[in-house]
Amino acid sequence: MASLPASPITQVFPGRLSAGPQGFNETLRFPLRSYPLDDLSILDDPFDISVGAIDLRTGRCLTELLHRAFISQDMIFALLRVEPRTPKDSFFFRGPALLTRDARDQNVFRFQGIVHIPYPPGFQFPHPDFTTAFTAGPGSALDPFLWFHAIQAGELRAAIKEGGANHVRSSTGDDFSYRYVVPSDPEHNNAVFEYENHTQQGKFRMHSLAWIDFSNSEASPLDGEEYDTVSFTGFGVWSKDGTHTLQQVSVQISTSEEKPYVGIQVASGDVSNVNTKPQDERVALP
C-alpha cells in the first residue's frame, strides 16, 4: 500500500502505480554482452487489467491471456535515459494460462507470457555501464517475458521446518550460508533465521517473525508427511563493517529433491540479495 519510490517509470506514468512482486538480482546474458540487473519488479498497469476467458471444465484459457505490466529495473531506466523515443506504454504480455488443482488438491495458476518488440534501427540501446549507448542495427528486437507458477496451499497443519547450508553459491556468484527453524505456530515456538553473505561480509539475524506459510511443490512426493517449501518474512538486525541496522527479510526455501531452491532478500533486496535460480531456464518454465 506504500507509494513507490520515484523512478523514470513513475515520473512518466499519468496515475499511481502500486508495488508488485519483487525479483532477485541477476545477470542478463546476451551473446556479446552481459548486463547486471538490480531493483527488478513487475508493476501491473492499473488502467488495463488482465483479460482472459477460462473454460471452467478444464481450467484452460480459451485464448491467450493478456497481462499488461511495466518491468521496473535499472536497465529499463537506462533505456529511458539514453533513448527518449522509447514507448512509455506497458508491455502486452500474452501467452497460455491454466488454473487447475494438483495431485494434492492445491490450487495452481500457470502463465507463460511473452511479447516480441521489434527495436527500430537507429534507436539507442544502453551499454552494460548503463551510461553510454550504441546504435541498434536492422533486425533488432526485444523479447521480455513474464512467467507465473503460483500454488495456493491448503489448510495449514502444525509443522516445524528446520535446516540450513554452508557456503552456497548464488546465481550471481555470492557465497552465503543460512540456518532456520520456523514453526507454523510462532506464538508457542521460537523462530530462528540466520544468514551470512560471505562475499558481502555481512550478517543478518532475525528476532521476530511477521508472516509464514508452508506448502508443497508439485515435485513433492504424495506420500510425504512433511512440507517441502516454506516462505516467511520477519525483522532482524543486519550487521556489516561495525554498523547494525534494523531490516526486513523475505525468505523462500524449497527442500524438494527435484527442484531445491533458496531465495533471501534483506530490505527488499537493496541490502542483500541472493537466490539459487537454475542455470537452465527451461527447468523454471511454468
Per-residue pLDDT tens digits for 24-37? 999 988 888 999 99
Q: What pLDDT, on a 0 to 100 scale, did the predictor assign at position 1?
A: 63
**For every residue of the chain, which 3-state class applies, written as one string?**
CCCCCCCHHHHHCCCCCCCCCECCCEEEECCCCEEEECCCEEEECCCCCCECCECCCCCEECCCEEEEEEEECHHHHHHHHHCCCCCCCCEEEEECEEEEECCCCCEEEEEEEECCEECCCCCEEECCCCCCEEECCCCCEECCEEEEEEEECCCCCCCEEEEEEEEEECCCCCEEEEEEEEECCCCCCCCEEEEEECCCCEEEEEEEEEEEEEECCCCCCCCCCCCCEEEEEEEEEEEECCEEEEEEEEEEEECCCCCCEEEEEECCCCCEEEECCCCCHHHHCC
Higher pLDDT, 11 or 206: 206
Section 6-19 average pLDDT: 83
Per-residue confidence at 51, pLDDT binned at 50, 70, 90? confident
Per-residue confidence at 234, pLDDT binned at 50, 70, 90? very high
pTM assigned to the model: 0.89
Per-residue pLDDT tens digits for 87-113? 888 999 999 999 988 877 888 999 999
CA atoms within 13 A on the CB side of 141: 8
Of residues 30, 69, 259, 249, the one with CA closest to residue 147: 69
Per-residue pLDDT tens digits for 121-179? 999 999 999 999 999 999 999 999 999 999 887 777 888 999 999 999 999 999 999 99
Provide φ and ψ at 53, rounded to 5°.
-125, 120
| pLDDT for residue 224 is more than 70 | no
